[in-house]
Amino acid sequence: MSHTLPRTPCSIVPPHLLMRLAARQDARFAVAADAARRALRELDPLRQAREESLRAPVRRPSAVVGTLTRRIHDAGGREVLPGALVRGEGGAATGDPSADEAYDGLGSTYRLFSEEYGRSSIDGAGMDLAATVHYGTAYDNAFWDGERMVFGDGDGEIFGRFTASLTVIGHELTHGVTQYSTNLEYQGQSGALNESLSDVFGVLVEQRALGQDAAAASWLVGAGLFTAAVQGVALRSLAAPGTAYDDDVLGRDPQPATMADYVETASDNGGVHINSGIPNHAFYLAATALGGRAWEGAGRIWYDAVLGGSIPTDCDFPTFAAATTAAAGARFGATGREAGAVADAWSAVGVLP
């Protein structure tokens, strides 16, 4: 059955970027400004819909790894879901970059959680993975709607197609993992943790697909989304929050790296896309301190913490820091270098003393 309103408004482009772009009055970025205004108009109903779609937390690891099953639909420029089916599991490439990138990205994300963490798809129970491409006209976002991934094509002036970044696909699908595990409230520090988990596993999906260790990785979320007109490399940087872009049109990346620069704001559900820079940087510090393949070290620890059952839906940063430190001790030993690296990382960003 088709529907027009996404039920979980976890989108990749933060409101502060859309607001900045929507305020432009010059003709050079007229298409992008109009696209941003249309994207902003959807945010409030999306938030309201999300409150109606919260699912009960599931805090247990999956017992059986299922079979990867993907379905890619094409909305054809309409804002109606799911659209026409264009590629099913095992089907030949379509020749449409958006459809084929979505297909491959769903597979890379599935394989990270399945092959590394033993999770049977996003919900832990073998859920089929679905995506819709070419959503809307010049649509400046990508989102997880509680059932599927949805990708816009971008406005062509500031943003290109949203399937072009594997970290975006991994990020949005991880919102589904969070939905079926901790179900972190999308507000304040718990909301920032919700966003951070998606950034963390989004970069791990890309690192694993590229065979990169922690030292070689870019640690960028959304690299490849911006057009050449933008002075910036990505939406966010885990290695150096606050440096992903510095542009006349979009402004400067506002993410803090430590609690000393924590942003108190009523917008964006309490700054969930901004303050996520703090737990993001803690993960980066832990992962690079441990070295090697981050999805096997720090990623394994973060995943254990998420599935451990000790994280409440209103979890704050210190509670999550304690959970990851405990998870490192449980898996690698309380006196091991892993637990020390995690505790040191949270201390470095000012969350733990």
- The dihedral region occupied by 322, where left means phi > 0, alpha psi between -120 and 50, and beta the remainder, is alpha
- Kindly state the greatest CA–CA separation across the chain: 60
**Would residue 273 show up in a list of annotated catalytic residues for this protein?**
yes
**Would residue 296 show up in a list of annotated catalytic residues for this protein?**
no
Q: What is the spatial distance between Cα 51 and Cα 53, in angstroms, rounded to a whole number? A: 6
C-beta of residue 302 within 8 angstroms of C-beta of residue 290 = no
| Candidates 16, 175, 273, 281; catalytic one | 273
Using CB atoms within 10 Å of the CB of residue 53, give its burial: 0 to 12 exposed, 13 to 18 middle, 19+ buried.
Answer: middle
| Candidates 172, 185, 195, 338; catalytic one | 172
Exposed e or buried b per residue across 304-322, where buried means at least 16 C-beta atoms within 10 angstroms of its C-beta:
bbbbbebbbeebebebbbb
- The dihedral region occupied by 201, where left means phi > 0, alpha psi between -120 and 50, and beta the remainder, is alpha
- Catalytic residue numbers, as ranges: 172, 273
